[in-house]
Homo-oligomer: A and B are copies of this chain.
Amino acid sequence: MASKLIAIVAGVGPGTGAAVAKKFAASYPVVLLARNPDNFESLAEEINKSGGKAIGISTDISDSKSVKAAFGKIEDEFGVGVGAAAAVFNASGRFVRKPFLELTEDDFTAGLDVSGKGAFLFSQATLPLLLKGVDAGSKYPPSLIFTGATASIRGSALMSSFATGKFALRALSQSLAREFGPKGVHVSHAIIDGVIDIPRTKEWLKDAGPDAKISANGIADAYWNLHTQPRTTFTWEIDIRPCVEKW
């Protein structure tokens, strides 16, 4: 199986991660990483039943041993030397919104653990596979896509834990874009600016009309469009928001 390129999605949940996984599953076998198997089990089943291939691996993305074990399983499944066509980092730390002086050290570092160290571990694990994808002549330039947020470019009051992680993630993605673009890997960063329409947000923004929440499928389409850009035409950053969003 080593010749077939795969896609790897970290941070699979009911929103962006699942929509992205399904979108990419139409073209690639997909690996679903999440800490909690509840987040990928039914999704993997759905993909496998509908003619795609998906495996889920329970992974703590901010723990190097867990990440190493996950990529060992990927090799077990797809063969040593498997290459990747796409890797999407969609994980986020625990969201803590509190007066700054009430934050515990754990509260504060929750963002940096995932968006800093976790994104580092994911990038170090996936970039070798993406470079193999380049060598293997991937139809589209192998892509490493990071999911950011409003907090990637704005440090709002009470949001320091989330914003420090998201700023750091943006820095990482920009540095990697500059280092790995010339090697043929397309590194991108998406600023998701708004509420995503998922079961948990069903009751939110009900008075703001049918277009007030971001479609997870719309994000997945945008990521796919980034993925299919040729080497002469790479986009590093896009912002995404509902048409009615105030910004």
Which A residues fall within an 8 A CB radius of B?
A: 64, 99-101, 103, 105, 108-109, 112, 116-117, 120-121, 123-124, 127-128, 141, 151, 154-160, 163-176, 178-182, 184, 186, 197, 211, 213-215, 218-219, 221-222, 225, 229-247
Contact = CB atoms under 8 A, between A and B. Distances in A.
B181 A171 contact: no
9 contacts: A108-B120, A154-B174, A155-B173, A156-B175, A158-B179, A181-B243, A214-B232, A215-B230, A233-B241
Nearest to A64: B105
Contacts of A159: 175
A48 B186 CA distance: 36
A202 to B, nearest CB: 15
B211 A232 contact: yes
Nearest to A212: B232
3 tightest CB-CB pairs across the interface, nearest first?
A: A218-B233, A155-B174, A155-B175
A121 to B, nearest CB: 7
Contact of A218 (B99, B163, B173, B230): B230
Given A163-B171, A234-B241, 7 more contacts: A100-B123, A112-B112, A155-B171, A163-B174, A166-B171, A218-B230, A232-B243
A232 B247 contact: no
A171 B175 contact: no
A242 B232 contact: yes
A222 B64 CA distance: 37
A181 B116 contact: no
Contacts of A166: 171
